[in-house]
Amino acid sequence: MFRFQSLNEDCMLEEEDDGLIEDEDEIDQFNDDTFGAGAIDDDWQEEHKRLAELDERDELGAGLGFGGGGMGGDSDLSTSERPSSTRIPSSVVHPPPPSSLASLSFSSSSSRLPPSDVEDRVGEGDLAESLARLILDADPAIAGVGAAERPGLPPGSSGSGLSALRGLDQPRVLPQPSPILPPTQPHQHPQHQLPPGLPASGLPPSSMLSYQQQQHLLRRGTAPMGQMSSHSIWENSMGFGPVSVTPGLLTHMEDNPLMSIIKEVGHPKRAPQGRNDEDLSERAPPPRSSSPVIGSPPVRAVPIGTPPKQPMSHALNHQIHHPTAVHVRAPVQHRYPAPFPERLSPNTLLNIANSPLCRGPFPPRVGPVLSQIQRAQLLNSQVAGFPRGGPPPLLPGGGGFRPFFGGPPPPHGHRMGPPPPHGPPNHAPPLRHNTTHLHPQHRRMLTQRMQSRGGDRRPGMDRRSRDPYSNLMTQKEKEWVTKIQMMQLQSTDPYLDDYYYQNYYEKMEKRQEKEQDSSKKEHTTKLITPQVAKVEHTYRPVQFAGSLGKLTVSSVNNPRKMIDAVVTTRSDDEEKREKQVWNKRRQILYTVEKMYSLLLEVQDFEKCFVQAPEEDREALLEQHKSNTEQLCSSLREKEWDDRVSDEQCVMIMSVRKGKRLISRLLPFLPSMQAAAVVMAIARNLPALAKKDKQDQVLCWLVEPVSAVIQSLSSASLTDLLQELQGSEGQLATVLHNKFGVTLLYVILSEGERMQSSDPNCQLMDDNRWTELVFSVTRELLSVPSSSLSPPLFTPPNLLSLFSRYVDRQRLELLQDKLQ
Amino acid sequence: MDKVCCCLEVDTHVIVTGVMSLYAHKKQQQHKMNYVPGTASLIDDIDKKHLVLLRDGRTLIGYLRSIDQFANLVFHQTVERIHVGKKFGDIPRGIFIVRGENVVLLGEIDMDKPCDTVLQQVSIEEILEEQRLQQQAKQETEKVKMQVLKDRGLSIPKADNLDEY
């Protein structure tokens, strides 16, 4: 089944492919739509040939013809050193008629496209193609920036390139500090090769065309031009400074027509392998799905700590002023995504630009170094305040890209305070951003000082200006190092990290305040270290709604606890009950212990008394009494209640030790209390018996209890017997228990003894005794012998007792049972 | 950077100043800002001629071109200066990159200040020869000393590798 299906699918695909190949003309449209923007179906060999051709052309033309070619001076245009920008403002005012197109740039364009090309192709699809080619040849900025935001220029600006170029004068279009790249200042000879990425660098052919015409051409759509190789595009055009882009065109880069053309025509391929090494730092890592907070830190192609190649002053600012917990990402170079899938950083472009220029003794790799030197030279020249006998041979291209890739214009102070070339040397350079810490008064003082020093800068400056290698370390790099140093000073708790420095600093400040109460208050500079807010990081395991359990994702940013130890507590009720039980038991034990200690003292009293000397005896006696008292009181439930508490006794006797205690205690108790205790015992015998199942120590109580019983009066004896029989079935339980039986017999025997010994015994006065005995006998008879537990001892006079109450027959039975 | 007293120059000039108060606003020779006021930073020393003494005893003089956070130094047009007694010799070395941990001290050379020293510059070969002789003499004395100690049953470890401690 599946196989069949797949076969079908395969067949389908083949059909589709065939269908695609059929219509050559429509391929690109389809490609565009189907396979995404920029998809080209091309033959690389053709491109290569084209490349070669272009290369040759470029080498001949030296590229600048583009810029010069534009506007009309034919003879002038041949010199490749004149920027088109100078021409543009002055010459073309109105959109030139199409017929004049031919006479213009193409005649002198270094691309060597015959003017007839344009003429012939006007109105043909090929025009668009050639136009596109020219555009791309001339101005890599388009391709490179493409959709880059062209700040400021409204699309509605007049179609001529002029006004737009004039618009370029405005700083917003030229975010680059003007002194470096003054392309639009006519009075100045711009450098030999302006940075190619300049917005001012233009597209001569496009500048020829009127806005409307361009639009027209673009909209016509282009036949697939084939892919322009990146090499040609970038190499040829990069160094060609005066190439100017019609801002109208520029602004329409964002529009679809041109974009589509560019897409169709070609996009720069990946830079060749030779350039990859240098691009590594600029190359953005492939997008990762992990977020910076949850996931692993992003992979950096270049380790953190590499000096930047790009301006990162804004990042510096941000870091110092608003240190965040987020890791530092790569410097923001790719803020303006290129319209093409591959991203070419400005440095890449720079390198490419430099490579043709550096051809010859220098391999392309030398590019960046040279660019540094170029930049340095440029700086030197400007710092010195005069053009250095012609522009430096190789202009740094890096500066040129700033307009594309730097958002807000970096403050002028970022440079080494280069005054505009035509400006007076006394012009005070603006303060740098890293002096924002300074007190405003201080800043004023500094600016004043700097201005005043403008004059005496000369002698020192000359030497430095003569140094061709100065300023190799760019401003950005200096800032970067400073930033690192400042970061090392960051602290959440300065008084903890740097206590002595803080105190010292405060002392110094105080001293200075005292000393310099006058106007020179802010004389000294202060280092204000960045303060990092203390952020409490509590670990919260990452959880998503609806997921079961916790994520297994663990990374540097969110280390996950390996063991999730969760405290489980039992329910409150159970706990309470258990607690109560334990508490009670503990209390009982405690009471028992206390009583025991007292008891022991009491028991030892005699010995002590005998041994103690005369004078101590009274004290001992006193103590003995108090002890006894205490013992008695401990049996009472409540302090004020004289009666022995049943509960207390039972509680005590629930513990093995307690029973022992009672047995030892009984002899020392006063008779009343002893009787009460025995009563309690008798009363609660079943319970006691039950509790005693494990211990089986109730029998310890027999002796003392019997001793007590023997001292009992008849009435109390009766009571006792009654208690013993108290509730229903109690007697049965009693009989089951050894102690109970023994107790019963003791009681009975005592009763008997009473009766037999003393004829005036009041035992028989009421019928209780008789009845009780009767019930006992009844019970005894009814209870089977097996369940009747043997007593500890059988008092001998029981039979005689029974004989009084029962008949002979039963007596015999009882006799049997008793044995 | 505080300027360090250094009297070894003949053709360049060395300034001898006291340690500048960290809180005093520095004299700006350029219109450059003091990047990190209140602390010492090498940023202000860039593109100036410096003399650096390394841990292995070498003396380098060159233009400080670049630094980094570890105080690794990039020197341009470096010259290694060998001193033997009252003579010295310069060996041009080109570009040096010095790892920060190997720096003992580093001081700016003031080109303006007139320098009068008693040191006499000689050619490279001569100074190398002198150095070799000096090393030789030193080794011999060391050898003798070791021998004497050995005879007495003592041994003192060589101080070569003290750095590694």
| Cα A129 from Cα A224, distance rounded (Å) | 8
Q: Does B72 touch chain A (CB under 8 A)?
A: no
**Residue B60 backbone dihedrals phi, psi, to 5 degrees:** -120, 145
CA-nearest residue of chain B to A425?
B31
CB A148, CB A336: distance < 8 Å? yes
Shortest Cα distance from B38 to chain A (angstroms)?
A: 5
Same domain, yes or no: B79 and B101: yes
Same domain, yes or no: B51 and B10: no
pLDDT at residue B124 greater than cutoff 80: yes
pLDDT band at residue B60 using 50, 70 and 90 as cut-offs = very high
Q: Does B92 touch chain A (CB under 8 A)?
A: no
* B120 lies in some domain: yes
CA-nearest residue of chain A to B31?
A450
Token readout for A510 is 């105080």
Token readout for A390 is 């012609």
Whole-number pLDDT of residue B22: 34
CB A777, CB A735: distance < 8 Å? no
Cβ-based burial of A751 (10 A; exposed 0-12, middle 13-18, buried ≥19) = buried
What separation in angstroms does the CA of A548 have from each of A258, A538, A541, A566, A568? 51, 22, 13, 16, 19
Shortest Cα distance from B134 to chain A (angstroms)?
A: 37
Q: Find the CB nearest A486 among B32, B36, B47.
A: B36
Same domain, yes or no: B31 and B71: no
C-alpha dihedral (A544, A545, A546, A547), degrees to nearest 10: 20
Whole-number pLDDT of residue A402: 39
* B75 lies in some domain: yes
* B140 lies in some domain: no
Which of A786, A777, A769 minimizes the C-alpha distance to A813? A777
Same domain, yes or no: B47 and B116: yes
Please report residues of B whose CB lies closer than 8 A to that of A527: 36-39
Which of B30, B32, B106, B122 minimizes the C-alpha distance to B74? B106
Same domain, yes or no: B105 and B77: yes
Same domain, yes or no: B20 and B51: no
User: Which of A438, A527, A529 best probes binding to B when mutated, by most B CB atoms within 10 angstroms?
Assistant: A527
Whole-number pLDDT of residue B55: 94
Q: Find the CB nearest A473 among B28, B65, B111.
A: B65
Q: Is B66–A432 a contact, with Cβ atoms under 8 angstroms apart?
A: no
* B160 lies in some domain: no
Q: Does B29 touch chain A (CB under 8 A)?
A: yes
Total number of residues shown for chain A: 819
Q: What is the number of other CB atoms lying within 10 angstroms of the CB of residue A119?
A: 16
User: Which letter, b or e, does each residue of A664-675 get, where b requires 16 or more Cβ atoms within 10 Å of its Cβ?
Assistant: bbbebbeeebbb
Q: Is B23–A512 a contact, with Cβ atoms under 8 angstroms apart?
A: yes
Q: Is B68–A449 a contact, with Cβ atoms under 8 angstroms apart?
A: no
Q: Does B100 touch chain A (CB under 8 A)?
A: no
Whole-number pLDDT of residue A416: 40
Q: Does B16 touch chain A (CB under 8 A)?
A: no
Same domain, yes or no: B25 and B52: no
Per the structure, how many domains does chain B have? 2
CB A401, CB A409: distance < 8 Å? no
| Cα A302 from Cα A273, distance rounded (Å) | 18
Half-sphere exposure of B152 (CA within 13 A, CB side): 8
Same domain, yes or no: B47 and B120: yes
Same domain, yes or no: B50 and B80: yes
CA-nearest residue of chain B to A448?
B31
Q: Does B46 touch chain A (CB under 8 A)?
A: yes
Shortest Cα distance from A484 to chain B (angstroms)?
A: 7
CB A296, CB A558: distance < 8 Å? no
Residues 6+ away with beta carbon under 8 Å from A294: A542, A553, A555, A557, A558
Q: Is B32–A482 a contact, with Cβ atoms under 8 angstroms apart?
A: no
Q: What is the CA radius of gyration of chain B?
A: 19
* B152 lies in some domain: no
> What is the average pLDDT score of chain B?
78
* B163 lies in some domain: no
* B104 lies in some domain: yes
A-B Cβ pairs (cutoff 8 Å, strict)? 83
* B100 lies in some domain: yes
Which of A195, A241, A207 minimizes the C-alpha distance to A62? A241
Q: Is B35–A525 a contact, with Cβ atoms under 8 angstroms apart?
A: no
Residues 6+ away with beta carbon under 8 Å from A651: A584, A588, A591, A658
Q: Does B30 touch chain A (CB under 8 A)?
A: yes
Query: What CATH number is given to the structural domain containing B105?
Result: 2.30.30.100
Same domain, yes or no: B53 and B110: yes
Same domain, yes or no: B55 and B25: no
Residues 6+ away with beta carbon under 8 Å from A106: A69, A113, A114, A115, A117, A118, A205
- A 284-343 residues with CB < 8 A to B: 305, 307
Whole-number pLDDT of residue A84: 45
Which of A193, A143, A135, A141 minimizes the C-alpha distance to A168? A141
Same domain, yes or no: B46 and B117: yes
Please provide the DSSP assignment of A323-385 as one string: --SSPP-S-S-TTS--SSSS---HHHHHHHHHHHHTTTTS-GGGHHHHHHHHHHHHHHHHHHT
| Cα B59 from Cα B53, distance rounded (Å) | 5
Name the β-bridge partners of B63: B49, B76
Please report residues of A whose CB lies closer than 8 A to that of B111: 463
Q: Does B161 touch chain A (CB under 8 A)?
A: no
Q: Is A485–B32 a contact, with Cβ atoms under 8 angstroms apart?
A: no
Whole-number pLDDT of residue A24: 54
Whole-number pLDDT of residue A381: 67
Q: Find the CB nearest B38 among A464, A469, A525.
A: A525
Averaged in consecutive runs of 10 residues, what is the pLDDT profile of chain A (819 residues)?
49 48 53 55 78 74 47 44 44 46 44 47 62 63 48 44 44 43 44 43 46 52 44 46 45 49 51 49 55 61 68 47 41 45 51 52 48 67 49 41 39 40 42 48 64 54 69 88 83 82 87 75 61 64 67 69 73 82 88 87 78 76 81 67 73 84 84 84 83 77 84 81 77 80 83 78 74 81 79 78 78 76
CB A295, CB A288: distance < 8 Å? yes
Which residues form the domain of B22? Answer: 3-35
User: Which amino acid, A346?
Assistant: P
Please report residues of A whose CB lies closer than 8 A to that of B25: 446, 523-525
Q: Does B31 touch chain A (CB under 8 A)?
A: yes
Q: How far is CA A314 from the centre of its chain?
A: 24
Name the β-bridge partners of B80: B60, B91
Whole-number pLDDT of residue B88: 92
pLDDT band at residue B64 using 50, 70 and 90 as cut-offs = very high
Q: Does B37 touch chain A (CB under 8 A)?
A: yes
Q: Is B35–A449 a contact, with Cβ atoms under 8 angstroms apart?
A: no
CB A667, CB A709: distance < 8 Å? no
C-alpha dihedral (A637, A638, A639, A642), degrees to nearest 10: -70
Shortest Cα distance from A247 to chain B (angstroms)?
A: 37
Shortest Cα distance from B48 to chain A (angstroms)?
A: 9
Whole-number pLDDT of residue A748: 82
User: Which amino acid, A2?
Assistant: F
CB A138, CB A233: distance < 8 Å? no
User: Which of B33, B45, B97 best probes binding to A when mutated, by most A CB atoms within 10 angstroms?
Assistant: B33
User: Which amino acid, A693?
Assistant: K
Shortest Cα distance from B142 to chain A (angstroms)?
A: 44
- Contacts of A275-278 spanning 24+ positions with Cβ under 8 A: A275/A348, A275/A351, A275/A352, A275/A355, A275/A364, A277/A365, A278/A347, A278/A348, A278/A351, A278/A365, A278/A367, A278/A368
| Cα A405 from Cα A150, distance rounded (Å) | 11
Cβ-based burial of B154 (10 A; exposed 0-12, middle 13-18, buried ≥19) = exposed
Please report residues of B whose CB lies closer than 8 A to that of A466: none
Shortest Cα distance from A440 to chain B (angstroms)?
A: 15
Positive or negative: CA dihedral B117, B122, B128, B131: negative
Q: What is the number of other CB atoms lying within 10 angstroms of the CB of residue A728?
A: 7
